Amino acid sequence: MNQLTAGEIVLMRKAGALTRDALNYAQTLIKPGVSTLELDNLIKKFIINSGGSPSFLGYEGFPGSICASVNEMVVHGIPSSKIILKEGDIISIDVGVVYKGYNGDAARTFPVGKISPEKAKLIEVTKQCFFEGIAQLSVGQRLGRVSHAIQVHAEKNGYSVVRELVGHGIGKKMHLPPNIPNYGKETDGPIVIENTCLAIEPMINMGRKEIFLLDDDWGVVTRDGKPSAHYENTVLVTKQGVEILTL
């Protein structure tokens, strides 16, 4: 777990604010008839004009500035001119921004036009899972308390938790130890230290938990074809509590 200095925390707050602003901008763009490549191009331009740079672009070869994951796609959807949003879809937008060498990372699942009550509930419960998780996050406690709370809330609502994909530490690199599963025992995981940043990101399926990787080696979809939602924020943990940097 990476402990940050006061100066590094200032830069993480700025990276988080730019990430938040990019997601808020993304929300204004989402409507039927828009392609995920259009979203990618506009959000990339917004990030650069705001003084940051898109951390996903080129990351381990990823071709986009955002991950745009529609309906049954859990995460890592490659933006494409062929994927056109339509009424009733849901889309998860995952954004990473680098500011002066420090990273913000956050995701939201948005409705496209009018969506079904079932999809709306999935989005809301996934968001609630995040807040249930961070309510258990504090210095000196096991990180597993967060994972356990997320799992309990998801399963209480009849949903399943993706096992293979996890949250992570974040700072000068987008992905740092520790891994943060969205399931597990309260006694699992390392002890949380002060002045560390973590990306907490519930990925919750309407149906079964099983997933598979597409042939493009990026997109991850639910095996049963049912929708999935994603809600992520970068948080700072101090002795005073948890500060959400991307909200």
Q: What is the phi/psi pair of residue 37, to 5°? A: -70, -40
What confidence tier does 179 reach under pLDDT thresholds 50, 70, 90? Answer: very high
Query: Domains in the chain and their CATH numbers?
Result: 6-244 (3.90.230.10)
What would the pLDDT profile of 58-99 be if each residue is shown by its tens digit?
A: 999 999 999 999 999 999 999 999 999 999 999 999 999 999
What confidence tier does 138 reach under pLDDT thresholds 50, 70, 90? Answer: very high
Of 56 and 1, more confident: 56
Q: What is the per-residue pLDDT for 218?
A: 97
Angle of the 117-134 helix axis to the 144-156 helix axis, nearest 10: 160
This prediction's pTM: 0.96
Closest CA to 218 of 111, 110, 101, 79: 79
DSSP 127-146: HHHHHHHHTT--TTSBTHHH
What would the pLDDT profile of 105-117 be if each residue is shown by its tens digit?
A: 999 999 999 999 9
Q: What is the per-residue pLDDT for 211?
A: 98
Mean pLDDT of the chain: 98
What confidence tier does 203 reach under pLDDT thresholds 50, 70, 90? Answer: very high
